[in-house]
Amino acid sequence: MRLALTGAVLATTFLVPASAADFNATSRIDRVTVYPQGADVTRVAEVALPAGEHRIILSGLPASVDPRSIRVEGEGTSALEIASVDTKSQYVDQAARDAERKAIERQITQLGDERNALDQVVSDAGQQRQFLIGLADKQIVPQSATESLKGIDVTQLGGLLDLVSSRLTSLAKTVQEAQLRQRVIDEQVTELNAKLNALSPADAYRTETVINVAAKAEMKGALRISYRLQEAGWSPYYDARLTTSDTAAAKLELVRRAEVTQYTPESWDNVSLTLSTTRPTGTTAAPDLGEQEVAAQAEYDRMLRNQSAAPAPVAEAEDMQAEMGAVGDALAKPKLAEEKKDAFQRQAMIEISGYQASFVIPGRVSVDNTGQAKKVRISSDEQQAELAVETVPMLDPNAYLTASFVMKGEAPLLPGATNLYRDGVYVGQGVLPMLAGGEEATLGFGVDDMVRVERKEVKKSRGEEGLLSSSNVEERAWDISVKNMHKGKMAVHVLDRMPFSSSEKIEVELLPGMTPPTEKDFKKRRGVMSWSFDVGAGAESIVKTGYRITWPQDMKIGQAD
């Protein structure tokens, strides 16, 4: 029967009787939960204990472990009480590490020598192949213009061909075996270099953890030791693959990926990896909002002088010092390195709770701490996309293809860079904002060369009007033509603008006969207008836009052209 291990993890030193035994346990990293910044690491240690009170000693934990985050639990064949957990900083003997480094360096050198020898084997086999082919040619083909054609009977020819074929096959096999061995050597050297980097002498300290336990009877079991590290994190990025068709609705496949980075003193080898959207290092509560008083300037200055002169109460000063110390500790924590990583592809399982999402990467994953991390695939969703072209001909004569879609699933989509593909061709990179399930988003997929846009000025005049009191008048107008050369109709979204005035003396109005905009003050930007309409296959539509400005004759005005 398996019994759960129980006990309280205390922050005090546990005094063990002199008869208690010490057990040095070895552990392995079993699973890791990575947050946008930081990670929870869980180790597993197999233990076999006699009855009594004992100390289980775990050495070699990273020096950057937060001691307050250490938790111990587990299970065994009989009850085991966990009394307390003690931690202390431990200096690592560099001599032992240096000896291990030298042993690894010798292995790398030996493998390099073996690879060079295999290069020579491949070269020699190539020379022998050329020699055999040349030897066969000399037996059959004349070597000069004066030499007569050599005679050879069928039996001799067959024997020669069999000999050359047999030798060439043997040489090809030799080359293949040498190249396969070189591939294995390259993989071994890569692994050894990773181990070599992990033995960097820069980290001279580690954390020793002592678990004080009491076993009621002889037991065998496993302890799970979890702790938190800051030198890790993950960031999202995406692939958006748009597939268009003249006869069917467009499809958008959104592939969610993550880049996992860790530069802790330990390598995560063959672990269960989970990515969480929780941000444990961020602010956990809304800030306090202070009062704001409006007063006469003299009274306001007097209050400021009194506040600067008055000493802070002792208790308040101590609280402030503690808060500043906490801020200093937070600032002292290392930040995530922004480095390019090599890729690792896997589809994840998504677990949704009320306030967060976790992405469980299936199987086992290795993430080393040498600056080489992993790119993992989380999920992919395909949905219908609404296509349209958007153009701002005042600034850019091109029409840009856009795809609008509704976010699927319950897991939130964190903001991140997005690689954009249109019908299998990479068109550039965009950015996805923070999205929740059911929200709509739009991505741009580059210039649509099948839609032509032209903005032509058709009117520009400036003069005066009025009989008794003259005013200045300026009128300008443009025709914006949109031609669709697709085989089907296309939704079009045109943006343009006209000036606006905040002065009662300056009037700005649309000219008569202009195309009414679908939306004025687009996205609450004054003067920006949008027109949305469909253009049939091979058809052309024209948007007419223009304005009139009227202002007093004795006033000078300015506007951005």
pLDDT band at 83 (very low <50, low <70, confident <90, very high): confident
Q: Is residue 411 scored above 80 in pLDDT?
A: no
Angle value at C-alpha 132, between 126 and 136, nearest 5 degrees: 150
Q: What is the pLDDT of residue 20?
A: 62
Q: Is residue 513 scored above 70 in pLDDT?
A: yes
Which strand (E) or helix (H) includes residue 300? helix 297-309
pLDDT tens for each residue of 270-295: 999 999 988 776 667 778 887 777 76
Q: Is residue 329 scored above 50 in pLDDT?
A: no
Question: For the chain, what percent of residues have pLDDT higher than 90?
Answer: 35
Rounded CA gap, 174 and 125, in Å?
7
Rounded CA gap, 101 and 440, in Å?
55
Q: What is the pLDDT of residue 309?
A: 67
Structure tokens at 274: 């989970």
Q: What is the pLDDT of residue 1?
A: 38
The whole-chain average pLDDT of the chain stands at: 81
Q: Is residue 380 scored above 50 in pLDDT?
A: yes
Maximum mean pLDDT: which of 19-28, 188-197, 507-516: 507-516
Q: What is the pLDDT of residue 348?
A: 60
pLDDT band at 324 (very low <50, low <70, confident <90, very high): very low
Structure tokens at 426: 């990479």
The type of residue at 388 is A
What average pLDDT does range 162-173 have in this prediction?
Answer: 83
pLDDT band at 537 (very low <50, low <70, confident <90, very high): very high
Rounded CA gap, 258 and 235, in Å?
6
Q: What is the pLDDT of residue 201?
A: 54
pLDDT band at 224 (very low <50, low <70, confident <90, very high): very high
pTM > 0.95: yes or no: no
Which strand (E) or helix (H) includes residue 10? none
What average pLDDT does range 128-141 have in this prediction?
Answer: 72
Rounded CA gap, 412 and 408, in Å?
9
Report the 10 Å Cβ neighbour count for 128: 15
According to DSSP, residue 517 is labeled: P
Q: Is residue 143 scored above 80 in pLDDT?
A: no
Which strand (E) or helix (H) includes residue 319? helix 314-332
Q: What is the pLDDT of residue 130?
A: 82
pLDDT tens for each residue of 453-484: 999 999 999 887 665 567 889 999 999 999 99
pLDDT tens for each residue of 415-451: 889 999 999 999 999 999 888 888 899 999 999 999 9
CB-based contact 80:48 (threshold 8 Å): no
Q: Is 124 exposed, middle or buried (0-12, 13-18, 19+ CB in 10 A)?
A: middle
**Domain locations in the chain as residue ranges:** 3-92+203-229, 95-198, 232-280+338-447, 451-552
What average pLDDT does range 99-117 have in this prediction?
Answer: 89
Question: For the chain, what percent of residues have pLDDT higher than 70?
Answer: 78
Mapping DSSP to helix (H, G, I), strand (E, B) and coil, where does residue 315 land? helix
pLDDT tens for each residue of 188-222: 998 888 777 766 655 567 788 898 989 888 889 89
Q: What is the pLDDT of residue 141?
A: 57
CATH of domain 95-198: 1.10.287
Q: What is the pLDDT of residue 333?
A: 43
Q: Is 189 exposed, middle or buried (0-12, 13-18, 19+ CB in 10 A)?
A: middle
Q: What is the pLDDT of residue 331?
A: 36
pLDDT band at 527 (very low <50, low <70, confident <90, very high): very high
Q: What is the pLDDT of residue 18?
A: 34
pLDDT tens for each residue of 235-258: 999 999 999 987 788 999 999 999
